[in-house]
Structure 1
Amino acid sequence: MTSVDERAPDYLDPALTVEERVADLLERMTLEEKAGLMFHQMVEIGEGGALAGASSQYRLPPTLEMIGQNHLTHFNVVGSADPATMARWHNRLQEAAAATRLGIPVTLSTDPRHAFTDNPGTSFTAGYFSQWPEPLGLAAIGDERTVREFADIARQEYLAVGIRVALHPQVDLATEPRWARINGTFGEDVGLTCRMLAAYIRGFQTDRLGPSSVATMTKHFPGGGPQKDGEDAHFPYGREQVYPGNNFEHHLRPFEAAFEAGTSQVMPYYGMPVGTDHEEVGFGFNKGVITGLLREKCGFDGIVCADWSLINDSTVWGERHAARAWGLEDRTPLERLERALLAGVDQFGGEHCTELVVRLVESGRIPMSRIDESAQRLLREKFVLGLFDDPLVDPSQAESVVSAREFVEAGYDAQCRSITVLTNGGDSPVLPVPGRPRLYAPGIDGAASEYADLVDDLADADLALLRVKAPFERRSGKFEQFFRAGSLEFSQHERDDILNVCRQVPTIVDIYLDRPAVIPELLGEAAAVIANYGASDRAVLDVLFGHRRPEGTLPFDLPSSMEAVAESRSDVPFDTDAPTFSFGHGLRIPTA
């Protein structure tokens, strides 16, 4: 007979309610263990799926040290591996967590990894996962069923390798055309954004958060779109969020839709509000925003996780970056953490200064009840997701689920459908392209030879295809270079190169729109102009040659000039004067 002392603790009993299990576990935890819950650090996959040692790239200690000594149980995985290796690595992570005193399982999260953008500060290319257009492309299709299908497929692929939290969707409204984060949004229109994100959240979480769900972390509260001059709040020069149109409330509407859809978590942005009734400090430190607006007015009682590196300076690729403690730059890390805890933040991304939480409590500056409040929320989600009962995954199943044929085809279909035809030759349409032309297509992969006879000399071509990216201004820092910000106009050199081709042979220009572009000069010279939001060469060719039908419409206005952009109000949608093309524009072409 098993004695009472030998019996498994109540928190391991699946027959008890979640609330009972949380209460039992919380009572057993030390302050240091509770502090570990409150940090959501990055983690790398070691070689061959081993647990990583110390990381020079992100200045991370060994994984075992973070679990065993810092008591961390939430990790944001960076990098990738094949599905089976990733699954085995996840299981080793869980086994290390199970070997700790209380055996609290790890919750693994990720930034988006199903599209084309590769920015280690925001998202990863699809790699082994099925590949889809960016959220802008889903918005261009405008169909909630497609968004839910994407989210459900991504959910299955995440689950197969052990990922249980999506650090997305990004529901900011793209009201400032220069902002570098627009590619992760659903565009400029609040109604479309609300429809898309509700389907997105329900696809990831299912209709009720549970063991088959991936929890969503909706960001960036209270709306990160209206950045001053479009600069991003990752950097000191982009810290100000401005509301010249007095339109603060408009940017809250997507979050209201997210709460209705049941999002489990929310991330405030780095930015600090300027010219509002709120204190001019970063949103993660802002009690009026986190407690007053998010908790009390909006009634949100889920997890609030601060954006990465809010408390301490960080190092990425050898570059030192100041903590994104806007408005509190002169405060110590201890003071910043205190402010964020008092504001209502539950968890801190990208760092693990657990000793500061301990100091704040032991000195009496933060009551234990405040720590318990956050710990309860964080533990509750682990129980609801079933992590205490079934934390491991099957590596062989991961191989069959991730990039399953039907998932890859669904993503490819969405790439094709999202393509937006802006112009098509006026009275003499060039799309779909007939026959088998001699095609000049620099940089296009070998798939083009299936559609046309490829030529290297423009003089030999019947038709040219140029795939270009929306304009941006390069920044000097290694990390900054990933954020495509600044002017929306092509440089004179870039413009001349494109127009030179257009003037010699009928040319189709395909522009990757990760944010709006100012392109009126191309429209009179190109035979046709199309836009994509993440699409392979083959997807573009299939559309151009009439094998697939494009359905995309613009998810934002395309401004007519940079003067119009500069004169527009950053917080007001559709505010640039006389746009070249308006939201919803997209021509239809027949299939061949």
Structure 2
Amino acid sequence: MTDTIESTDAAASASTEASASTEASVDPTYRDASLPIEERVENLLGQMTLQEKAGLFFQTMIAMSQDGELAQADPSFGLPSNEEQVIGKGMTHFNVLGSAPSGELMAQWHNALQELAASTRLGIPVTISTDPRHSFSDNPLAGMLAGPFSSWPETIGLAAIRDEALVERFGDIARQEYTAVGIRVALHPQIDLATEPRWGRQVATFGEDAELTGKLGAAYIRGFQGESFGPGSVSTMTKHFPGGGPQMDGEDAHFAHGREQVYPGGAFELHLKPFEDAFAAGTRQIMPYYGMPVGTEYEEVGFGFNKSVITGLLRERYAFDGIVCTDWGLISDAEIFGEPFPARAWGVEHLTPRERVIKVLEAGVDQFGGEAIPELLVELVESGEVSEARLDVSARRLLREKFVLGLFDQPLVDVEHAGRVVGSDEFVAAGEAAQRASITVLTNTATDAGTPVLPFAPGLKLYVEGIAPEVAAEYGTLVETPAEADVAVIRTHAPFEVRSSTFENFFHQGSLDFTDEALGHLREVAAAVPTVVDVHLDRPAILTPFVADVAAIVANYGASAKALLDVLTGAAAPLGRLPFDLPSSMAAVEASREDVPFDTKDPLFRFGHGLSL
């Protein structure tokens, strides 16, 4: 770790020199690692200007360069340059968007950003956060492709394996890869209960069972934060308090038509259970969801604005004194992919941005996610609408986290170490093993010869769809038509409705029924050859119309074609069990209550179903 120590010393020296040149009166006591953290926090806070305090309160996306240098403006998402955000805005918390080709380049970019921060008056280091980035999701505001990191099943796939030790091992591996490149806050786990089958965010949950979600969520937190929270940890921002699953009709609260959370079954308390486990596991941060509760004892405004939830429930009932950060974009209207994207100010749409800021602070929140308007907060204090003492309450929490994470003492990372850790052979192999284990066999019927179609022998004549030919060729002889094949393997995806805006289509929502065209095609292939259908269950698809027509149905939750074919040919054992019920029909889904788990009538397959091979 010599390179890291030398780099750290250089950064500290650069910061000290910059501070001395811009403000000779800066007291460097807060840089003394031998002092208690509370003393360091108070020393630094006492020297901060109003503008510097305001910069702490905003955490938004930041662009990562592909070459290890500081990134310029990114017009796709309206992001300014790194320099404008750190120097111009004075911000020190960022959610990194995108990836670089390698761990080394990610680490180099991170170090360049920290060196930029070290040049400011007080040299406050930046804290980098990220949405999940160890799987197959590609949603700019929910999850990133794994890129150079090891690749694992989605969270719902970890739930299918049902192994607390494995989930903690995943968290530990992710922690090592994150810290190697300077990522110190995980904007996850997502421990919402997936009680509404249509909801578009359940792929990142642990399913609809409260007990399983609580156990696995706690294991996840332990893995990321380590045995004791400190310089080697990743701080977990657990979401979405008090449970974002009961969305009315399954529509997501990113969008105005999904702003309401409803509790027709009176199960509000059930959705709190996983958070109780998260608090016991020591989660450091909490993110409330966008939705507004309807028909409860709580104020009918979005949870980020909701004092009865943030102060009354989270701070007082649960005595949570960690950081609370809103979900992204509660204050300002924006534009994504050239299309308007209004602020998610549900229940307070009539308020101005400055009034929304005040309401969020009064609710008891510490930080504004997806916003970059520290100048507005400065105006509110200068006008007397917000007291500086209120800012100090949250600033202490935010600064304390930086100190405990060791960012002031070791802001830079070892680039060579990042190259060895990120995507290491050991970590990649662990992720691939989890992909195979998560695969869930739902049906496995007998062929004309009287034996189940799975597992099938390597070397057969294969007809495939949704699998790269070069991959399939490793497991059999490819043929052009089903009629020529011994077995067909078709990979498909749980259905979803196409929506009007580009961004909304990243969230799979609406009907869970396959189209008539898709069903007709599956039946046509199955009539010609024993057919295995692999469905990516990011939501619980309606399989009833073709369950009797195909030889086997398996489910995946983020798995490569090689992982699938290893299972289908018997080289690996499928251990997955359904993390939710699979409804028998859309009529059953529409009749179910959004907040109640396992509430669809006569499900096709129950939670926990899965066959062994």
TM-score (norm 1): 0.98
- The letter of the residue matching 1:127 is G
Q: CA deviation at 1:448?
A: 1.6
Aligned: 1:109 with 2:132: no
SS at match of 1:541: helix
Q: Which runs of 4+ in 1 moved over 6 A?
A: none
Name the structure 1 match of 2:296: 276
- CA distance 1:22–1:588, shift in 2 (3 Å): same
Counterpart-to-counterpart distance in 1, 2:369 and 2:97: 13
Name the structure 2 match of 1:267: 287
Counterpart-to-counterpart distance in 1, 2:382 and 2:205: 42
- The letter of the residue matching 2:84 is E
Aligned: 1:480 with 2:512: no
Unaligned runs of 5+ in 2: 1-19
Counterpart-to-counterpart distance in 1, 2:194 and 2:481: 40
Deviations 1:267-318 (A, max 9, x none): 0000000111111110000000000000000110000000111100011111
Name the structure 1 match of 2:583: 559
Deviations 1:383-439 (A, max 9, x none): 000000001011111111001001000000000000000001057411111352111
Q: CA deviation at 1:213?
A: 0.1
Counterpart-to-counterpart distance in 2, 1:229 and 1:31: 44
SS at match of 2:528: coil
Unaligned runs of 5+ in 1: none
SS at match of 1:553: coil
Counterpart-to-counterpart distance in 1, 2:144 and 2:228: 28
Counterpart-to-counterpart distance in 2, 1:319 and 1:178: 25
Q: CA deviation at 1:85?
A: 1.1
Name the structure 1 match of 2:90: 71
Q: CA deviation at 1:466?
A: 0.4
Q: CA deviation at 1:549?
A: 0.4
Pairwise CA RMSD: 1.3
Aligned: 1:42 with 2:66: no
Counterpart-to-counterpart distance in 2, 1:248 and 1:75: 32
SS at match of 1:339: helix
Name the structure 2 match of 1:433: 456
Deviations 1:193-252 (A, max 9, x none): 011011100000012210000000000000000000000000000000000001101000
Name the structure 1 match of 2:215: 195
Counterpart-to-counterpart distance in 2, 1:307 and 1:381: 19
Name the structure 2 match of 1:224: 244
- The letter of the residue matching 1:116 is F
Name the structure 2 match of 1:497: 521
Q: CA deviation at 1:497?
A: 1.2
SS at match of 2:325: strand
Counterpart-to-counterpart distance in 2, 1:133 and 1:206: 21
Name the structure 2 match of 1:32: 51
Counterpart-to-counterpart distance in 2, 1:432 and 1:480: 38
Match of 1:235 among 249, 252, 255: 255
- The letter of the residue matching 1:506 is P
Counterpart-to-counterpart distance in 2, 1:497 and 1:7: 71
SS at match of 2:393: helix
Aligned: 1:581 with 2:599: no
Match of 1:131 among 151, 155, 169: 151
Name the structure 1 match of 2:375: 355
Deviations 1:41-76 (A, max 9, x none): 110013522212222112122211211121100010
- The letter of the residue matching 1:56 is P
Counterpart-to-counterpart distance in 2, 1:219 and 1:252: 11
- CA distance 1:575–1:51, shift in 2 (3 Å): same
Match of 1:508 among 516, 532, 536: 532
- Contact 2:196 2:247 (8 Å CA) reproduced: yes
Aligned: 1:312 with 2:335: no
Counterpart-to-counterpart distance in 2, 1:500 and 1:254: 44
Task: Choose 141-150 or 49-58, whichever is displaced more.
Answer: 49-58
- Contact 2:160 2:577 (8 Å CA) reproduced: yes
Aligned: 1:442 with 2:462: no
Name the structure 2 match of 1:527: 551
Aligned: 1:255 with 2:279: no
Task: Choose 232-241 or 437-446, whichever is displaced more.
Answer: 437-446
Match of 1:168 among 180, 188, 194: 188
Name the structure 1 match of 2:16: none
Task: Choose 155-164 or 419-428, whichever is displaced more.
Answer: 419-428
Deviations 1:150-198 (A, max 9, x none): 1100000001110000000000000000000010000010111011011
Match of 2:404 among 366, 372, 384: 384
Aligned: 1:19 with 2:38: yes
